[in-house]
A = this chain, B = another copy of it.
Amino acid sequence: MNPPVYFFTDFSSRGPYLGQMESAVLAVAPQARIINLMNDAPFANPRASACLLAALNDYLPENAVVVAVVDPGVGGSRKAICLNIGDRWYLGPDNGLLSLLVSNAGAENCSLAGLHESYMKAASASFHGRDVFAPVAGLLVNGQSPDTFPLPVDGMAGASWPGELAEVIYLDGFGNAMTGLRMRNLRDLQGVVVGGQLVKPAYTFSSVPAGALFCYENSLGLLEIAANGSNAGRILGLEIGSPVNPHISPGRSKNP
Contacts and interface: CB of A to CB of B under 8 A. Distances in A.
Q: Determine the main DSSP class of A at the interface with B.
A: loop
17 contacts: A4-B23, A12-B174, A15-B170, A16-B52, A16-B220, A20-B37, A23-B35, A24-B59, A26-B33, A43-B174, A74-B206, A76-B205, A125-B217, A125-B219, A126-B205, A126-B218, A126-B219
Interface in A96-144: 124-127, 130-131
Q: Please tell me how many copies of the chain the complex holds.
A: 3
A90 interface: no
Given A33-B26, A73-B206, A206-B74, A130 B219 contact: yes
A229 B44 contact: yes
Interface string A203-236: 1111100000000111110000000010000000
A205 B16 contact: no
Contacts of A56: 16, 20
Nearest 8 Cβ contacts at the A-B interface = A75-B204, A76-B206, A127-B219, A125-B204, A12-B173, A19-B37, A14-B173, A124-B219
A94 to B, nearest CB: 14
A14 B172 contact: yes
Given A19-B37, A76-B206, A127-B219, A61 B13 contact: no
